[in-house]
Chain A
Amino acid sequence: MNEKIRFVYLYVPFCLFLLFVSYFGPIMVCDIIFFSLMYAIASIGWAIGMYAGQLSFGHAAFFGIGAYVAAISYVKYHVTPWVAFIIAPLISTLLAVAITFPSARYGVRGPFYSLLTLALAEVMRTTFLAWDFTGRALGVWYPIVPDSLIDFQFHSTHAPYVAIALIILTVGLSLLIKMQQTRVSYGFITTRNDEDAAQAIGVDTLKFRVLSSALSAIITSMSGILYAQFTLFVSPENAIGTYVNVDILLPAVIGGVFSPYGPLLGSFIINPLMWLFRILFGAEVLHMIIRGILLVTMVYISPRGLIGLFTKISSKKEGIGSEEA
């Protein structure tokens, strides 16, 4: 019930506020909101992978699949980018299952899973750099067309992008909240806490790991589609590059991995902050350093993110044992 109240009285007004600001506010604010929402979606995807204890350093691969599918289907095959919302999740699910199924089967877990996913993203990046179909290092450039919903391009106002991102975010979040009230979430918790013990008591860890990585890949690829449609330019560096991985995982780490609203909170902290730094100092370099510092401080202050920190403090105050995830 608590979850429902939070959703109706906090999340919905928040969304309406964002919509209002992006329709009537300056276009730059709208862009910041869009980027925050986009990375929040990607980060929610990443966090779902973490639910089953799978720390991925290669979510840029799924992000890149979304971006490239949208770009290639529009630029090369002249079909509406909306088909990417069907194709990209399919491809990324296949890829995620292809990676996770054998690794769950043969006991690749913990840091090795992270390295595996990192290698996957690297393989994809280097392949796309050399592949004519994906436009090599130049990437894929969209032709600029007038505003239209079918072409998924809006130039006079960026607010429709925000609206579409909000729809995807809301679907993803409600899925996540629903999931937390079912048996599945217990499967995830036991799998991530101790995979061997979970197997010993008869939990099908393989199923939960594959499920979590498939869901995670689907949501992250959606965010990639949004990215491609907004920037209208996709290249191996900006869609699958090493720093994309950091951009995807940072909001969840800052906000809180295991709470549904954590990535959203983190994204709305980090992205406006980075935008501010870009305006003040200009250098791309400096805000990567700040990202690194934020990552390191979060590891020491609270590995469960700001929301985790908050619940820890409030439960201490009320004297209730916090739910240790």
Chain B
Amino acid sequence: MQFDPTLFLELLFSGLFQGAVYALIGTGLTLIWGTMQIVNFAHCTFMTLAAYITFWLFALFNLDPLISLPAIFALFFLVGFLFEKFSIEPLIGKPREATLLLTLGVSLIIQNAILLVWKANPRIVNPIFAGSLRFYGLNINIPRFISFVIATISALLLHVFLTKTIYGTAIRGTCQNRTAAHLMGINVKMVYAFSFGLGMACAGLAGVLICLFFPIDPFIGDPFIVMTFSVIVMGGLGNYLGAIFSGFILGVIEYFAAYWIGSLLRLTVPLLIFIIVLLLKPRGLFGD
């Protein structure tokens, strides 16, 4: 096969654009895992819900996704906060499979409720800036590019928030040792709810962003579930920069696999990599 630099770059960029969304969801998930040691199975289903709310705002009130972005962020922060307070907090101290099964059940409920309300037809949001840009012979899809920029910036902002502010320090302290954090006067329960809300807000943002360039359907979150878990495992648990990097890496791998192996197997290759990484390097590629 002849090497085609344009094609190579286009695949690379598409992969990076997709990877940015993985990175964003992955940071949210790794935040939840890092603080509470909980695997939130419903994360990607909440992302689908956010996508549908964006779609609704667009279809009913003609609100552009970029305008509804802050509102969705706030809404999902609140949803995550309350969800943690009322449904996960009572389960802390119970066997760990309890939260896994709970989030699995919640994701089933939400997914099928979406199916019931909005039906299975794919829906499309057409932002005003849709179209593509020619850049030195490369086709760059503008909505994808915008979502890439927003996702990267928010993932990095989250990282800065966690490392530079006092609240972030409290969260990271709780990650490292919850008893010690409690003794230092950190309100651990509040930290839990807060970080769950923040993680969920990331999922909400990702939902808005995928609206920009994907037709959405109720099952859009399914491939994301395993992919984003691959992202956080590969990045090393609780390692935010690692999650961002591996999000990009997996996105690129997915697109190259889709081109060279076939689009049906686009997820198989990253998942195989996930299985191998988990078995050989359980602490992640960037872990200690």
Q: Which A residues fall within an 8 A CB radius of B?
A: 50, 55, 57, 99, 102-103, 106-108, 110-112, 114-116, 118-120, 122-123, 126-127, 129-130, 242, 246, 249, 253, 283, 285-286, 288-289, 291-296, 298-300, 303
Which of A57, A123, A249 has most B Cβ within 10 Å? Answer: A123
* Complex: A242 Cα to B4 Cα, angstroms: 38
Partner of B282, one of A108, A249, A289, A293: A108
B230 at the binding interface (Cβ < 8 Å): yes
A110 partner residues in chain B, CB cutoff 8 A? 96
Q: Which B residues fall within an 8 A CB radius of A?
A: 39, 90-91, 94-98, 100-102, 104-109, 111-113, 115-116, 222, 225-226, 229-230, 233, 262, 264-265, 267-268, 271-272, 274-275, 278-280, 282
* Complex: A55 Cα to B41 Cα, angstroms: 14
Asked if residues A292 and B272 are in contact (CB atoms below 8 Å), the reply is no
* Complex: A253 Cα to B101 Cα, angstroms: 9
Q: Nearest-CB distance from A246 to chain B (Å)?
A: 6
Asked if residues A289 and B97 are in contact (CB atoms below 8 Å), the reply is no
* Complex: A127 Cα to B262 Cα, angstroms: 11
B116 partner residues in chain A, CB cutoff 8 A? 283, 285-286, 289
* Complex: A116 Cα to B230 Cα, angstroms: 9
Q: Nearest-CB distance from B8 to chain A (Å)?
A: 24
* Complex: A108 Cα to B237 Cα, angstroms: 13
* Complex: A120 Cα to B262 Cα, angstroms: 19
Which of A116, A286, A294 has most B Cβ within 10 Å? Answer: A116
* Complex: A116 Cα to B272 Cα, angstroms: 10
Asked if residues B108 and A288 are in contact (CB atoms below 8 Å), the reply is yes
When C-beta atoms are compared, the residue in chain B nearest to A283 turns out to be B116
The 7 A-B residue pairs whose C-beta atoms are closest, nearest first, are A292-B108, A295-B105, A292-B109, A130-B264, A296-B105, A111-B39, A288-B112
* Complex: A59 Cα to B135 Cα, angstroms: 47
Give me 30 A-to-B residue pairs in the complex whose CB atoms sit less than 8 angstroms apart, sorted by A's number: A55-B97, A55-B100, A99-B275, A106-B279, A106-B280, A111-B96, A111-B100, A114-B39, A114-B100, A115-B226, A115-B229, A115-B278, A119-B226, A126-B264, A126-B271, A127-B268, A130-B265, A130-B268, A283-B116, A285-B115, A288-B108, A289-B113, A292-B107, A292-B112, A293-B105, A293-B109, A294-B105, A298-B101, A299-B101, A303-B94
Q: Nearest-CB distance from A18 to chain B (Å)?
A: 29
Asked if residues B226 and A295 are in contact (CB atoms below 8 Å), the reply is no
Q: Nearest-CB distance from B40 to chain A (Å)?
A: 10
* Given A102-B279, A286-B116, A303-B98, also A296-B109 (CB < 8 A): yes
When C-beta atoms are compared, the residue in chain B nearest to A126 turns out to be B268
Q: Nearest-CB distance from B89 to chain A (Å)?
A: 12
B275 partner residues in chain A, CB cutoff 8 A? 99, 116, 119-120, 123
Asked if residues A292 and B97 are in contact (CB atoms below 8 Å), the reply is no
Partner of B265, one of A119, A126, A288, A292: A126
* Complex: A57 Cα to B98 Cα, angstroms: 13
A296 partner residues in chain B, CB cutoff 8 A? 102, 105-106, 109
B111 partner residues in chain A, CB cutoff 8 A? 288
* Given A127-B265, A130-B265, also A116-B109 (CB < 8 A): no
Asked if residues B268 and A299 are in contact (CB atoms below 8 Å), the reply is no
* Complex: A99 Cα to B107 Cα, angstroms: 26
B97 partner residues in chain A, CB cutoff 8 A? 50, 55, 303
* Complex: A169 Cα to B223 Cα, angstroms: 34
B267 partner residues in chain A, CB cutoff 8 A? 122, 126
